[in-house]
A and B are shown apart, each in its own frame.
Chain A
């Protein structure tokens, strides 16, 4: 009852000083808006990252050339290689691999009649690609072992290529050019959409050997290997076996860093999550500072308010308000002030998050504000209100009614 009555008094007091209340809460508004905006974007990214990696599964391993290998001055950069032969060795000698594919990625224009298109990428792969990547053919068939063994001039294309080249309802069997290589379309992949800014539907798949003929022999020295381990428990063993094998093949002396990189899906996810958590933590720190500044603003304005309303406090005490009634009144006012900031900040932050997602060209996922962020925003602003309101409220409560009534 008393709380409700005090809330009414507090809101009336805040309304009476609308502009002052707004300016006071600005610190809180900005703080909460920042945390909500960042959390919403980060959370969206995290959802996306999880989605992507859940797509390929926990058994997935990726091997590539280590490109950010440090190069000392004067040391002639040795061409770092991960060759088709390395890949072949992995396939033959590493136990525990269920699916395996080499990937030779490059770019080339595709052409059908007079229509031309530059696909996102052209990839030479093995027949198990669709099992490794969990990405299936929708129409026709995928590349077969025979296609690979015979370096056949066939291609499986993404649905976007079908659109761009206007291959129509019956793309299978049509002959298109990839670069200057004429190939027959034997399959169309299922639609996957975009992931982390890459359009998975804008791709052309060729038999690995066919792709090397197109890209030239150099492409055989920089292949990537994608693998599905037989079981999740074997992922680490497979990774270690690949490392040992490649180190031996690359004749790396003990103590020298790997010139290749084996990326386990799980680790990648951890890395991304770790990065995002880092961003969240940094922003959290900034927000904490902003909330403290906002809280000091609230304390300041509450002190002014207590002084201005000394007379009122005297009157209230004269008609029977106890210390705790006055304390509660001003405390509720401070909390209402900072909570109002929290609400406005929440709305603003959500809007900001949505705006960032809408404006940034990379296709970010929709802003996602988790319940805990909302609870945190409210909890924080309420705590700030209580923490910074207690001193002014205590000052008001301790006023001597006689002095207060005499105050001019």
Chain B
């Protein structure tokens, strides 16, 4: 069976008029179902662009992206929307809940666009909220919830349509450290429960929850190694995050991807 995510020689080039910005500079990446991957890199490394691409918010300038066997670069706008709806669950740094809308309705949102009947929607949304431990907060608006609770609502929204991929962009960036740990515990549980999780972060301590870590620099994969969780050596992981500057061994990347 093919991998969930297959990126082959992906380029993303923004035409800024005077100059062309190579946000992604030939990325090859394979992610299997059930993996727990952290994508790391400094700002400008291309990790946001990669996340947008993985999340089907954008399409590559060149190269191929297959998600669940579907060639994403060939899809039009509404097909992309359908893929986002069914295959992707987004978790954002800033939560991005709809204001003045209670938790239940926020979680229902993807199901509305999936065309699910109201009754079934309610049921699925409340189940998702129970899963993230917010059964008693369903009818609270975002401004009545703490940061951690808001992110849980966002995670419930990401989960509600049973997506193939849970895509979290700096999910703890706006949370204090204690709450961050709680949220990461939740991601760990979701991964243990069989979900494919891809985290985008610049914080090594967040990334270490993942089982595999992909480092980006200048739009290229710098390293792609298992973390301590994933059975790799602890020291190597730490070094990879900070000081390793040598060109990545393409064979290693492929090995890790095909694992």
Contacts and interface: CB of A to CB of B under 8 A. Distances in A.
A5 B57 contact: no
Contacts of A320: 81-82, 84-86, 110, 113-114, 161
B57 A402 contact: yes
Contacts of B86: 320
A2 B161 CA distance: 17
Contacts of B112: 2, 5
A319 B84 contact: yes
A68 B77 CA distance: 74
Interface string B39-56: 000000000000010010
Contacts, number: 62
B98 interface: yes
Contacts of A402: 52, 57-58
Interface in A272-320: 311-312, 314-320
Contacts of B57: 317-318, 401-402, 405
A315 B99 CA distance: 11
Contacts of A323: 77-78, 81
A322 interface: yes
Q: For this complex, into which size category does the number of interface residues on chain B fall? A: 20 to 34
A325 interface: yes
What's the dominant secondary structure at chain A's contact region?
helix
Contact of B77 (A314, A322, A405): A322
Contacts of A318: 55, 57, 84, 90, 96
A115 interface: no
A2 B81 contact: no
B58 A321 contact: no
Interface in B65-111: 77-78, 81-82, 84-86, 90, 92, 96-101, 109-110
B193 interface: no
Nearest to B106: A315
Nearest to B92: A405
Contacts of A16: 100
Contact of B115 (A1, A324, A405): A1
Interface in A312-344: 312, 314-325
Interface string A12-23: 100010000000
Contact of B98 (A2, A312, A401): A312
Given A16-B100, A311-B96, A402-B57, A319 B115 contact: no
B152 interface: no
Given A5-B112, A401-B57, A402-B57, A319 B85 contact: yes
Contacts of B85: 319-320
Q: For this complex, into which size category does the number of interface residues on chain A fall? A: 20 to 34
A319 B77 contact: no
Contacts of B78: 322-324
A118 B98 CA distance: 76
B117 interface: yes
Contacts of A12: 100-101
B209 interface: no
A377 to B, nearest CB: 31
A208 to B, nearest CB: 82
Contact of B109 (A2, A314, A319, A401): A319
Given A1-B115, A325-B113, A402-B52, A319 B58 contact: no
A317 B58 contact: no
Interface of A: 1-2, 5, 12, 16, 311-312, 314-325, 401-402, 405
Given A2-B112, A320-B84, A320-B161, 14 more contacts: A1-B115, A2-B115, A317-B81, A317-B84, A318-B90, A319-B90, A319-B110, A319-B113, A320-B113, A322-B77, A322-B78, A323-B77, A323-B81, A325-B81
Q: Which 10 residue pairs spanning A and B have beta carbons closest together?
A: A320-B85, A320-B113, A319-B110, A322-B78, A322-B81, A315-B96, A401-B57, A320-B84, A318-B90, A321-B113
29 contacts: A2-B112, A2-B115, A5-B112, A12-B100, A16-B100, A311-B96, A315-B109, A317-B57, A317-B81, A318-B55, A318-B57, A318-B90, A319-B85, A319-B109, A320-B81, A320-B84, A320-B110, A320-B113, A320-B161, A321-B81, A321-B113, A322-B77, A322-B82, A322-B113, A323-B81, A324-B78, A325-B81, A402-B58, A405-B96
